[in-house]
Amino acid sequence: MSESEFLESYDPSDYERPSVTVDLVLLTVVEGQLAVLLQQRREHPFKDCWALPGGFVGIDEDLDEAASRVRSAKAHLDMGYLEQLYTFGSLNRDPRTRVISVAYISLMPMLYFSPALKHADGLVLAELNVPWEGETGGPVMACSEDGTELPLAFDHAEILGQAVKRLRGKLDYTPIGFALLDELFTLRELQGVHEAVLGTRFHKPAFRRRILDKGWIEGTGERETGASFRPAELYKLKN
Amino acid sequence: MSESEFLESYDPSDYERPSVTVDLVLLTVVEGQLAVLLQQRREHPFKDCWALPGGFVGIDEDLDEAASRVRSAKAHLDMGYLEQLYTFGSLNRDPRTRVISVAYISLMPMLYFSPALKHADGLVLAELNVPWEGETGGPVMACSEDGTELPLAFDHAEILGQAVKRLRGKLDYTPIGFALLDELFTLRELQGVHEAVLGTRFHKPAFRRRILDKGWIEGTGERETGASFRPAELYKLKN
DNA sequence: CCAAAAGTGTTTTAGTTACACCCATGG
DNA sequence: CCATGGGTGTAACTAAAACACTTTTGG
């Protein structure tokens, strides 16, 4: 019996199959720093550690749907950018059983997080510390408001690291960064997002022109309010 | 019962689970063109169509192992670069049952393909036609030697498109292209690989210097043989 | 010597960075 | 009118592209 005949006659119910889950890396920028939504575990394994929100993939929903559903159910968030990151399938990533997890990145402005944090069943928006180390970044560290490190469950530190790496890589050749801003934003806010994601500082005039030359954004003529200095123009993404 | 308690008490055997497979995009460059290894299907669905080599992920092997095993078993290839591409999980991508497929890219020089094509149980090295259209590429088309289009099974045209897109995107900021060459190569051969992958033509002196400035390769002092003109120096990847 | 492709030096261009400066607002 | 950050013009630098050219081999 050839391999292809085997595949045809294969009855999936005969074989033990791995479970498939989605894990979400929900990122935003708060006070000039990258932050990620984490949930504290109440049970073993990794009791009291912090985990990315996740859930099983239903037999009747595709992967993107599952990610979106889990985002609503676990994090009470219905909006924002969503993109598949990578699939993690090491044998012992979950000590209970074989679990293959499709990780997703979700980006949104801080504004959207308010309802999620009100429900707050063990949810926390943790500051992310990722040393620069040439764009790939070193080991990630998630910290609570008081600066203490939050221990991460499973292989979620690795997932987080890959997420930051992906975000950094795409930031200046795709418009992905705008998903972290409100619809209207100033150039200073945009620069702040880039600096938070990349962990670097930019020269203001250079950044300004580099961004404008890409042709992604346009000025609205409106100005920000409430500043005690010259108000900046509000920009928006074209189209 | 909270969502997290549910997750804890979840017995995976209670629920219907999707099958998980790996699909391989085995790419090489032959006569200045990208080519992919395809296998003709003998059974329904998509009988007589051409498919990427693939297979189920065992409960006791991680994803990379599964990809490597399938590459050996289906394509008789034990060497070459291997990288996870993307996970495809649409509901009806396989009409028989719910299948989530983790796609992998594998790159190797044409040389390695000889044993695979000797076994030749329905295996074919198909030329790939991907219009340029600004680096993302348009719809892919796989062609046999005589130029006729090969119909692709399942969502494999989409997978192939994503593979080419990934390869194009990484080609000039990572050393991924060298996986398509023998250990020793001339700058002309390297240029040929870049032109085949990107579907463009380069100016020879510009390409030469751009590559050398990256510092990835070094000359060996050796020269190619058998040319009826000035033999080019053989280079190799550093480290 | 000729054809063919390897390989080099010089100029042009474009894109990014750095520096200096002016502008608009609240207090 | 002063402090603060928004915004603009110009020059310097660097990396890529284009062009013209010399070199080395087989026949």
CB distance A30 to A193 below 8 Å: no
Q: Letter for the amino acid at B95?
A: P
CATH 3.90.79.10 fits A18-171, yes or no: yes
Q: In chain B, whose CA is at the least distance from the CA of A51?
A: B4
The structure's pTM equals 0.91
Residue A87 has pLDDT above 50, yes or no: yes
Tell me what pLDDT residue B4 has: 47
Q: Per the structure block, which two tokens stand in for B195?
A: 């032109």
Beta strand pairing call for A99-107 and B149-150? unpaired
Residue A77 has a pLDDT of: 87
Handedness of CA A91, A93, A94, A100 (dihedral sign): negative
Q: What is the largest CA-CA distance in chain A?
A: 79
User: Helix B156-171 to helix B187-198 angle, to the nearest 10 degrees?
Assistant: 140
Nearest to B54 by CA among B64, B42, B32, B39: B39
DSSP 8-state symbol, A32: T
Contact B190/B130 with Cβ under 8 angstroms? no
Determine the average pLDDT of the residues in A234-238: 94
| Strand C proximal residues, B:11-50, Cβ < 7 Å | none
8 Å CB contact of A91 and B17: no
Ranges in chain A annotated CATH 3.90.79.10: 18-171
Mean per-residue pLDDT, A39-68: 94
The minimal CB distance from B84 to the residues A87, A91, A98 is found for: A87
- pLDDT for residue A1 is more than 50: no
Fold of the CATH domain B12-171? Nucleoside Triphosphate Pyrophosphohydrolase (3.90.79)
d(CA A97, CA B13): 11
Measured in angstroms, the CA of A4 and the nearest CA of chain B are apart by 8
- Is residue A12's pLDDT more than 70? no
Given B17, B74, B86, which is nearest A20 (Cβ)?
B17
Whole-number Å distance between alpha carbons of B52 and B160: 9
Q: Which residue has the tokens 């250079």?
A: A206
Residue nearest to nucleotide D26 (CA to C1'): B228
The candidate with the shortest Cα–Cα distance to B113, out of B87, B86, B79, is B79
Contacts of A186 (CB under 8 A, 6+ apart): A224, A232, A233, A234, A235
Q: Is the CB of A119 under 7 A from strand C?
A: no
Query: What CA–CA distance (Å, rounded) separates B144 from B127?
Result: 6
Given phi > 0 = left and psi -120 to 50 = alpha, else beta, which region is A65?
A: alpha
pLDDT digits (tens, 9 = 90+) for B190-237: 999 999 999 889 999 999 999 999 999 999 988 888 778 889 999 999
Runs of H (alpha helix) within B43-186: 63-75, 113-119, 156-171
Determine the Cα angle at A42 with ends A40 and A43, to 5°: 130
Q: A113 pLDDT band (50/70/90 cuts)?
A: confident
Mean pLDDT for B132-154 is 77
**Residue in B closest to A75 by C-alpha:** B3
Residue B133 or A43, more confident: A43
> What chain B residue is nearest to A7 in terms of C-alpha separation?
B55
Report pLDDT digits (tens) over A119-178.
Answer: 767 889 999 987 665 455 567 888 888 888 899 999 999 999 999 999 999 998 899 999
In whole angstroms, D3 C1' to A170 CA is 38
Every domain of chain B with CATH number 3.90.79.10 lies at: 12-171
Tokens of A210: 């580099």
Q: Is the pLDDT of residue B136 over 70?
A: no
CATH number for the domain formed by residue range(s) B183-237: 1.10.10.10
- Tell me how close the Cα of B178 comes to any Cα of chain A, in angstroms: 21
Which residues belong to CATH 1.10.10.10 in chain B?
183-237
pLDDT of B98 over the 90 cut:
yes
CB within 8 A of A24, min separation 6: which ones?
Answer: A37, A52, A53, A54, A67, A70, A71, A74, A75, A103, A104, A105, A106
Which bases in strand D are touched by protein, i.e. have an atom under 7 Å from a CB? 3-10, 16-20, 23-27
pLDDT tier at B123, thresholds 50, 70, 90: confident
